[in-house]
Amino acid sequence: MSKAELSILIYHRVLARPDPLFPGEVDRALFERQLRLLKRFYTVLPLPVAMQRLQDGSLPPRAACITFDDGYADNAEHALPLLQQHGLHATFFIATGYLNGGHMWNDRVIDAVREAPVAALDLRDLGLDCLPLASLAQRRAAIEHVLGKLKYLPFEQRQRLAVDIRRRAGGAMRTMVPAMLTTFQLQRLHAAGMGIGAHTVSHPILAALSDRAARNDIANGKRELEQLLQAPVTLFAYPNGKAGRDYGPAHVEIVKSLGFTAALATDWGVARPGAGLDLFQLPRFTPWDKGRLAFLWRLRQNRRQSPVHAR
């Protein structure tokens, strides 16, 4: 049996400096350390190259790809220079509805809890409890609680609640961060040779939409990126990405019918050549460990996982 296998890493942001509210979030220094480890212990390939080598049988034993989801501005500001410095490639999956000043619902919630000038945020009339905010630990817990409650609500309801929570927390006129990519930054990533993939327009939970609405959101995201880049976009990442929960077989078929050549999920595991390979449900995982040995151990553990496919 071939030992060839592909580990695909997911990132979202690369911060300028550590964030005390999210101590596990990747910053520039940590990202660079992880790039060095990947270069030393893995063969890091561009995702399209890895897809081809999975199919033709030439994939090396410990291959890896780097991907980013959503389209944050720090991908261009911080991740790109480090990738270029180390001669590495990444593919960026972009939700086009948030380009040029948009804000994702979860970032509105995080920003609200971060900046709330009170010791507690009372959201009981929204079904979200009265959340203590007196310490960093309590603010982390409040963010986790609210995101968990809102995540699988209907899209429009989730958006309205996020805006309302942001308003109630105060400081509504303050410029929100984090910023998403501008069109210019997106084009800069593409011009630098990085991969650009589709991630829908609005980043919905596809399983919560009608098949028609899901198809439109996927297709429009692809079309908008191709217009902005004047280049084909052939790779797709399912929003949220858990097989059977966030997307299902119908969405896999939609992605195939729209001309994509591969699609990525967020279930742990590695892709291997052979009969079990499904290019439209490729596993990925998030490497959140800070320590060198812990990071490498996590990669090793991920290689022992069996991919999960929607059925």
Cβ 70 vs Cβ 97: under 8 Å: no
Same domain, 293 and 193: yes
26 Cβ contact list (under 8 Å, min separation 6): 11, 13, 14, 15, 34
- Say yes or no: 124 and 270 in one domain: no
pLDDT of 2 higher than 90: no
281 and 191 co-located in one domain = yes
Q: Is residue 230 assigned to a domain?
A: yes
The pLDDT assigned to 118 comes to: 87
**Among the three residues 114, 148, 168, which one is the final residue of a domain in this structure?**
168
- Residue 91 falls within a domain, yes or no? yes
Which whole-number Å values give the CA distances from 46 to 160, 266, 274, 296, in the listed order? 38, 18, 20, 20
162: Cβ contacts below 8 Å, ≥ 6 apart: 105, 106, 108, 109, 112, 150
Model confidence pLDDT, tens digit, residues 225-257? 999 999 999 999 999 999 999 999 999 999 999
**pLDDT over threshold 50, residue 1:** no
In this structure, are 111 and 255 located in the same domain? no
Instruction: Please determine, for residue 173, whether its predicted confidence score (pLDDT) is greater than 50.
Output: no
Together in a domain, 283 and 203: yes
Residue 184 within a domain: yes
Check whether residue 68 and residue 124 sit in a common domain: no
pLDDT for residue 142: 94
User: How many CA atoms lie within 13 Å of 100's alpha carbon, on the beta-carbon side?
Assistant: 6
| 173 within domain boundaries | no
- Do residue 199 and residue 290 come from a single domain? yes
Q: Distance between CA atoms of 152 and 117, rounded to whole angstroms?
A: 28
Residue 311 lies inside a defined structural domain of this protein: no
User: Considering the chain, what is the average pLDDT of its residues?
Assistant: 92
pLDDT at 171 (0 to 100): 53
Which among 76, 96, 75 is positioned nearest to 226, based on CA atoms? 96
Q: Residue 232 falls within a domain, yes or no?
A: yes
Pair (234, 89) in one structural domain: yes
Q: State whether 77 and 224 are in the same domain.
A: yes
Question: Is it the case that residue 182 has pLDDT exceeding 60?
Answer: yes
Which residue range(s) make up the domain with 234?
6-100+180-302
The mean per-residue pLDDT over the stretch 190-204 comes to 97
Question: Could you tell me if residue 175 is inside a domain?
Answer: no
Overall average pLDDT of the 21-43 stretch: 93
Structure tokens at 43: 């063969």
Domain total of the chain = 2
Q: Are residue 135 and residue 94 in the same domain, yes or no?
A: no
Same domain, 191 and 95: yes
Q: Is residue 160 part of a domain?
A: yes
pLDDT digits (tens, 9 = 90+) for 255-295: 999 999 999 999 999 999 987 899 999 999 988 888 899 99
What is the average per-residue pLDDT within 184-188?
98
Query: At residue 307, does pLDDT exceed 80?
Result: no
CATH no. for residue 286?
3.20.20.370
Q: What is the pLDDT of residues 52-70, one digit of tens each?
A: 999 999 999 999 999 999 9
pTM of the model: 0.94
Do residues 21 and 92 both lie within one domain? yes
Report the range of poorest mean pLDDT among 33-37, 202-206, 265-269, 305-309. 305-309
Top-confidence residue, 64 or 129: 64
The per-residue pLDDT for range 69-125, each reduced to its tens digit, is 999 999 999 999 999 999 999 999 999 999 998 989 999 999 999 989 889 999 998
Q: Final residue of a domain: which of 168, 197, 219?
A: 168
The residue out of 118, 141, 168 marking a domain boundary is: 168
pLDDT in tens, 146-159: 999 999 999 899 99
